[in-house]
Each structure stands twice: as C-alpha cells, then as structure tokens.
Amino acid sequence: MASVPNEIDNTWNRPGERAPLITGGHDFTSLTDVACGPAETYRPPRAWYIAFTISVVLLAILGASIGYLIINGVGVWGVNNPTGWGFAIINFVFWVGIGHAGTLISAILFLFRQKWRTSINRFAEAMTIFAVMCAGIFPGIHVGRIWVTYWMGPLPNQMAMWPNFRSPLLWDVFAVGTYATVSLLFWYVGMIPDLATFRDRSKNKIRRFIYGLFAMGWTGSSRHWHRFERAYLILAALATPLVLSVHSVVSFDFAVSQLPGWHTTIFPPYFVAGAIFGGFAMVVTLALPAREMFGLKNIITLRHLENCCKIILLTGTIVGYAYLMEFFISWYGGNQYESFIFRARALGPYAWAYWTMITCNVLAPQLFWFKWCRTNLWVMFIVVMMVNVGMWFERFVIVVTSLSQDFLPSSWHYYVPTAIDWLTLAGSFGLFFTMFLLFCRFLPMVAMAEVKTVMPHADAHAHVPASRSFDYNPDDFEPEQEQK
C-alpha cells in the first residue's frame, strides 16, 4: 500500500525515504491561496489579536522606559563603578546575534542551493530586519545624551571632535549599518514577485495601489525574471561574508580590550557560532506558532523544523566546545588574572548565571540527538526557548563578570539590574514581536515564487515559459517575442 503524507502532523510513513518539502497535495494555485490567506482574510485568528495586544503593550513599556531614561539619566539603570556596561550592551549583542540566522538561511543556503530553505527564508529575513532594529536602540540610549547620538557616526561636528576610528565601537556602526542595509535590500528584492501576486489578487484599490507601488511594475516577463535572479544572486553574495564579519566585529568590542575574560582570540568564531545558534532557535520559536496560527503546516513541515534542530545541535556543540576551550586557554596561558575570572564565573557570585547558560546552551540541545525530540513540537519548543534564555545569559556572563571584578579588588561591585533594565529588555521584545506580527498580517510570509520551484509540479511544468522558473537562459528568447 502506497504511503502518503499525513496532513495532521506532517509525518512521512515510508521508511528509508525523506519526507517531501511540501505536503497536503498542494498545487501552484492552492499554495498561492494558503500563502496569501493571512494578508487577504478580513479578520486574522484570535490568537493574532492576543499576541499583537501583548506586543503593543510591551512596546509602550519600551517607549515609557526610554522616556524615563532620557529625563532622569542612566542612573536609573543598575550600572555602577566598575560595571559601566550593563543591560544595554548585553541586549545589543543579543539582538545582533538573533539576526544572523536569517542571513544564513537566505544567502548561504541559497548559494548552496538548499531547497528546504524556501519555506522559512522569508520570515527569517524579516526576523533579521526587526532584530537589527531592536539592537540599534541600545547603543543610542547607552550614550546617556541621546540627542547627540550622531556623534557615534563618522561625522564632523561643531566641537571639532572626530570619531576614533581605532575604537571597535565605531567599527560596530559600519558593520551593523552595512548588515542592516544589505539585509533590507535582500529581503525586499526577494519579495517583489510575491508583492505583485498580492497586487493582482487585491480587491481593495488602496491595497492594490500600495502593493503595486512596492512591486515596481512587476509583470513576470522573462526579462523581469532575469533581472530579479541576477540582483538576488548579487545580494546573496554580498550578504554571505556579512554573516561572518558582523558578529566578529561585535566581538571586537570585547576582544581588543585588556580585561581578563575578554582579551581572547577565540571570540570572533565563538560569537559567530553563538549567533547562528541563537538565531536558528528564534527561527523555530517563530515558526512553531506561525504555522499553527496561519495554517502553514503543509508548507513549513516537520522536515524544515528538523533541519533547523540539527543546525541548533551542531552550533550548540560548537558553543559548548568554545566554553571548554576558554577554561583550557586560561589554564594553559598561565595568566593568573585570566584564571581567576574563569574560576569566578563558574564558582563566584555570578555562578547562577553561568550554570544557567551551560544548562540552556550546552545540555538542552543534546536532546536533538534523538529523532523523537527533533520531531516532537513540544520538546522542540521547550528546547529552543531554553536556548533563547541561555544565549541572553551568555552575553550577561561575558559582560558583567569581567567588569564587576577587575584588577583592583577594592573597586569590585556586584551588579544588580533595576526595574527599568528589565522593562527595557521586555519592551525590546515588544518591538520585535509587534513588527513581526504586522509583517505576518500584511506581507508575504512565505516566498511563494521560490517554494513553487521545489514542488513536484515544477518538474511537470518544465515546458512552461521561462517566466515561471528560476532556471532559464535569456538567450533562448528573441527580442521580438519578448516585446510582444
């Protein structure tokens, strides 16, 4: 008896064969209907309203917290002497890391022609944009005088103060700014064919005008597809080195200093692996409720989620190896200050944060060695939530432990975050989820044009004109035919 995909849990019942990427018996038309459904429906699911209300409340808390900070100064935070960096830098590094998975899925997996990325790359790219938005808030408010944040940029000013180009904090401005620009362009260019689909299906004149404006006159001609593929490939090539460079530059904020626990060459690859680790955990965190809320179980299947879990397992193991090597190098280097800091991390006043990090980032992902854990949605959700918590605590451990116990014991001070610190952190999640929920509601959450190329129907329609396929040779078409 032939086995078929199960439409309830997307499991594949044929041993020895991989499950299809798209289940449920979809053809091109039905897939378009499902993918366009969230934006075309008059009323989204009740769960969307609940999630959006909570997110907007948290966003209002963020605005209130920043307003209170501007009025009263950075003294409302828990920063002290010597812990001059607190939640602001922790949150900045955390949110920059979250955005890495989107670029990895979109650019690197695209260049390697990994077909399974097509169902999840669009909202992973959106996640990147919104995470960078959240990250950009914290350097601006951390300077204290928020009205002169333009001093962080390489701009001359009336006081003849020029930025110090030897400072890694200025390198962050270039690295994160470039990353945000390329990621935004990559996200937008990839949406153009789908925005044209939204335009053509819109029944409201206002929506048709707005979608048409951003679709830039897309008609689906062979020339349009040729230009689109060329631009998409170039942006993917530009975005690929950014995956390695951006968080490496962010790690230089710590690595080029002389503080024990920071002054180490392992930070760039360690930060990159941790960023991909935490970013994929956030992708799964968003994918699980989104596929339930908008009926995308047959498009974002267990095969996609299981592949993400495998990458989480791999990068989590790399992160665990980096944790171990830090202790080994502190012993092997023979530096007494370095050795003291790492012993204090595991056994000192912040041991609770360190072992929370180890539990969430090293031990929890090991469950993904077992297939039943990689295919159980509840186990998957619990593990990725633990990873999200663990990656935030990783940044907390790095920033706070080295600062609170420096070279002079008489200046040691225990860092205690205030309510404003916690509210600002919660508010940043409000901004992130508000933007993501609006994206799910009004923009194409699934890359329809790319998903259709990995469906079985694509092979059956190999004879259709090149405007329906990503793989075509523009020389096959005569100019006269294209003009017609």
pLDDT digits (tens, 9 = 90+) for 158-210: 666 667 777 888 888 888 888 889 999 999 999 999 999 999 988 888 989 99
Cβ atoms of 189 and 235 closer than 8 Å: yes
pLDDT higher than 90, residue 152? no
Q: What is the pTM of this model?
A: 0.87
Residue 1 pLDDT more than 80?
Answer: no
Question: Among 138-147, 173-182, 375-384, 413-422, where is mean pLDDT lowest?
Answer: 138-147
Cα separation, 98 vs 89, in Å, equals: 14
Mean pLDDT of the chain: 85
Highest mean pLDDT among 2-11, 50-59, 220-229: 50-59
Residue with tokens 């999200």: 388
| CA 405 – CA 409 distance, rounded (Å) | 7
| Percent share of the chain, pLDDT over 90 | 43
The two three-digit tokens of residue 53, written as one number: 């209300």
Give Cα separations from 4 to 16, 18, 29, 294, 377 (angstroms).
14, 12, 21, 23, 21
Return the amino acid letter for 3: S
User: Distance between CA atoms of 432 and 131, rounded to whole angstroms?
Assistant: 6
Cβ atoms of 119 and 451 within 8 Å: the answer is yes
Name residue 73's amino acid.
G
Q: What gap in Å lies between CA 178 and CA 184, rounded to an integer?
A: 10
Decide if 353 contacts 397 (C-beta within 8 A): yes
Whether the bond into 444 is cis, omega within 30 of 0: no
Comparing 462 with 126, which gets the higher pLDDT? Answer: 126
At 241 the pLDDT is 87
The architecture in CATH of the region 28-189+222-471 reads: Up-down Bundle (1.20)
pLDDT of residue 77 exceeding 70: yes
Q: How far are the Cα atoms of 19, 50, 307, 422 from residue 337, in angstroms, in the given order?
A: 53, 50, 42, 31
Mean pLDDT, range 448-468, rounded to an integer: 64
**pLDDT at site 9:** 44
Please report how many Cα atoms fall inside a 13 Å half-sphere around the Cα of residue 217, on the Cβ side.
3
**How far is Cα 434 from Cα 130, in angstroms, rounded to an integer?**
9
